[in-house]
A and B are shown apart, each in its own frame.
Chain A
């Protein structure tokens, strides 16, 4: 495979997936600046290695995996710094999606409070469109464990945002 062709393929992949990779990084880091740094660093690592990727169909999951690894690497590095991953800075709070309803905004707040172990597979499923089997491979766990985490993630979000009467109708405890 020629260098020009692999470069073009990588550039195409960056343009196609940069948005979803940023969103995924954002829901891991919960911080826009940190998310951008993670994506930038991850894709630079990816650039050097992309020629070695034989299965072109796996590029998307490979890029998401690099972002995940970069997040965990950055988190480990910043572990001693107060307010690292999971913190929300003022700039993040100012960003309001015009499409978001009051319910949507509540949902976003609930997502902010969601533990990483739930947010990670949820973002991969909803943003990345990956199957439970693919997520299991990326997170190095079982498909059953992914299904459990996805179910609990949705239960937790619903518990946080659904009106009390809906929860009572469903027989859920608040």
Chain B
């Protein structure tokens, strides 16, 4: 370790290594530099620590969407009239609806659930696609404008799914968030469903291709499916 190395490592903000500690007692210049550096780092930390808005964490948690136990959490998002109409119809039929989920584990619907559980975070971190491009790519299967009538799009991006490409959409509706996987090149003859580990998925045919809808609440998944088909 020489003085140049010592200075270089110190300026990068990495703590003193064993080699640096061994060098310092024999070098008054580096020992002095360390003192100045420690004072500078302290000032730097203070300068970076800007005041955080009061109640920030509470505000964020209040606006987080309701989970499966919707009654115990508030939601800060505004509802959409069209969705509410569909949701009311779905809630009315909730008993019939829950029965319909039993014993239906379609592989495609199950794959949609697996995507949400394993790959959704990665897709989000990869970033969203521009809206104009999404409008163009989904025009013939499930138009973006149609989705915007149902809820608020929080994320939309292409992602590998099965042997092709799907468009991963996170849609915020009044009660919850749902994940959609729009598959323009995958046709389904009829609606398919699956439920696994507290998640519900419904895959419905579109004019071109199909869409998988995944959520933690069966009634909400059914409501979104009804709204898409309406």
Contact = CB atoms under 8 A, between A and B. Distances in A.
Given A36-B56, A52-B118, A72-B127, A123 B48 contact: yes
Contact of B43 (A3, A45, A48, A104): A104
A3 to B, nearest CB: 5
A127 B64 contact: no
Nearest to A72: B127
A2 B199 CA distance: 11
Contact of B65 (A2, A47, A107): A47
Interface residues of A, number: 59
A81 to B, nearest CB: 16
Interface string B73-99: 000000000000000000000000000
A70 to B, nearest CB: 9
Contact of B67 (A7, A14, A108): A7
B51 A95 contact: yes
Interface residues of B, number: 47
Contact of B116 (A4, A15, A52, A154): A52
Interface string A51-65: 111000000001001
Contacts of B22: none
A111 B46 contact: no
Contact of A104 (B47, B53, B67, B177): B47
A23 B48 contact: yes
A151 interface: yes
A22 B48 contact: no
Nearest to A6: B67
A111 B49 CA distance: 12
Contacts of B125: 62, 65-66, 69
Given A7-B67, A44-B60, A49-B121, 6 more contacts: A14-B61, A23-B50, A40-B63, A62-B121, A111-B47, A126-B44
Interface of A: 2-4, 7, 10-11, 14-15, 18-19, 22-23, 26-27, 32, 36, 39-40, 43-53, 62, 65-66, 69, 72-73, 95, 97, 99-101, 103-104, 107-108, 111, 122-123, 125-127, 132, 147-148, 150-151, 154-155, 157-158
